[in-house]
Amino acid sequence: MSLLVTGTIAIDSVKTPFGEQDECLGGSATYFSVAASHFTPVRLVGAVGEDFPDEYLKVFDGRDIDTSGLEKRAGSKTFRWKGSYQGSMNEATTLETQLNILTEDPPVIPESSRDSECVFLANTAPAVQIQLLEQLTAPRLIVADTMNFWIENTREDLEKLLQKVTALVLNDTEARMFTGQSNLIAAAREIVEMGLEFVVVKKGEHGTLLMTNNDECFVLPAYPTDAVKDPTGAGDSFAGGMMGFLDQQSDINLPTLKKAIAYGTVVASLVIEDFSLNRWQTANRNDIDKRLNQLRDVITF
């Protein structure tokens, strides 16, 4: 197929028990693209402000990432996020958010990318996700991310979005909030029934749950590691690994979805071993495949 991602390119400042990094590269589309590019060519759509340092774009160099949809907008400022993680680092504490360019018109998908068949709509307002989706001419596999804010404040839009996409990824707290179901299996089932083919519930250190509209279920623990330095981008990297693998498959079925989620899991486990996208300076597809086999060993009985 052909994989497109719409999302943010951000400047993050992050503090964890293992250090801190000021003004480093972040953003959902960034993490997603680099993760997915280990599997398949990626088309990135997003916008930054005129303050965005060009050297940050070096992360895309030498990777199969089409950045023609990356708009540098004059007069605008890049989205910035400042956060910290404590303890088990399962959830970030947001210290500051400067939405900046996110409050303006979303970027436009370039003509050359509108035929993308495989699409990841990273977290943003569901109405914007729908608007982006409508620019595509032949989407076949559309996965959207969302968050608590949209579940609470724009639920109607979100439910509309679910009629138009193949699948949703969200975390366990959000799945419970969305449905009012405390049991996660029940919650996942209820979300699928809103009009999806499948849902992927991310449980952080506890791994991932897949539920399909055939009531097929897959549960996978996270890759067991104590080498976590910075969980930022784990979810988008997970989605990148999953979608990157799926984009290369001729059929989306339970076995390919399972393997895609396993790839997403190990890709996420790599990126969180360092701040920002630094881990990708050395980690490559061989490291991903090696870790996939380790993960399989670790769960097999």
Whose CA is closest to 107, among 30, 8, 187? 8
Other Cβ atoms within 10 Å of 52 Cβ, number: 22
Q: How many whole angstroms separate alpha carbon 289 and alpha carbon 196?
A: 29
By beta-carbon proximity to a second copy, the closer residue of 109 and 222 is 222
Q: Is 300 in the site for a second copy (CB under 8 A)?
A: yes
Q: How many whole angstroms separate alpha carbon 296 and alpha carbon 198?
A: 23
Other Cβ atoms within 10 Å of 40 Cβ, number: 19
Q: Is 186 in the site for a second copy (CB under 8 A)?
A: yes
Site string for a second copy, 249-278 (x = CB under 8 A): ------x--xx-xx----------------
Site string for a second copy, 23-52 (x = CB under 8 A): ------------------------------
By beta-carbon proximity to a second copy, the closer residue of 75 and 87 is 87
By beta-carbon proximity to a second copy, the closer residue of 64 and 91 is 91
Q: Is 83 in the site for a second copy (CB under 8 A)?
A: no
- Three-state SS for 58? helix
In the chain, DSSP finds a helix count (H) and a strand count (E) of 9, 13
Among 57, 108, 128, 299, binds a second copy (CB under 8 A): 299
Please, where are the H alpha helices in the chain?
Answer: 28-36, 126-133, 148-153, 155-162, 172-179, 184-192, 234-247, 254-271, 285-299
Q: Which residues contact 241 (CB under 8 A, 6 or more apart)?
A: 35, 36, 38, 39, 260, 263, 264, 265, 266, 267, 268, 288
123, 96 Cβ separation under 8 angstroms: no
Q: How many whole angstroms separate alpha carbon 141 and alpha carbon 144?
A: 10
Q: Is 182 in the site for a second copy (CB under 8 A)?
A: yes
Q: How many whole angstroms separate alpha carbon 155 and alpha carbon 153?
A: 6
Contact window for a second copy (CB under 8 A) among 91-99, 117-125, 156-164, 179-187: 179-187
Q: Compute the least distance from the CB of residue 276 to a second copy, in Å.
A: 20
Q: Compute the least distance from the CB of residue 287 to a second copy, in Å.
A: 18
Q: How many whole angstroms separate alpha carbon 238 and alpha carbon 126?
A: 20
Tell me the site size for a second copy, rule CB under 8 A: 37
Among 87, 250, 251, 286, binds a second copy (CB under 8 A): 87
Q: Compute the least distance from the CB of residue 242 to a second copy, in Å.
A: 12
Site string for a second copy, 201-240 (x = CB under 8 A): --x-xxx-x-------xxxxxx-xxx-x------------
Q: Is 89 in the site for a second copy (CB under 8 A)?
A: yes
Q: Compute the least distance from the CB of residue 84 to a second copy, in Å.
A: 14
Q: Which residues pair with 20 in a beta bridge?
A: 15
Q: Compute the least distance from the CB of residue 246 to a second copy, in Å.
A: 13
Residues lying near a second copy in the complex (CB under 8 A) are found at 17, 86-89, 176, 182-186, 189, 203, 205-207, 209, 217-222, 224-226, 228, 255, 258-259, 261-262, 296, 298-301
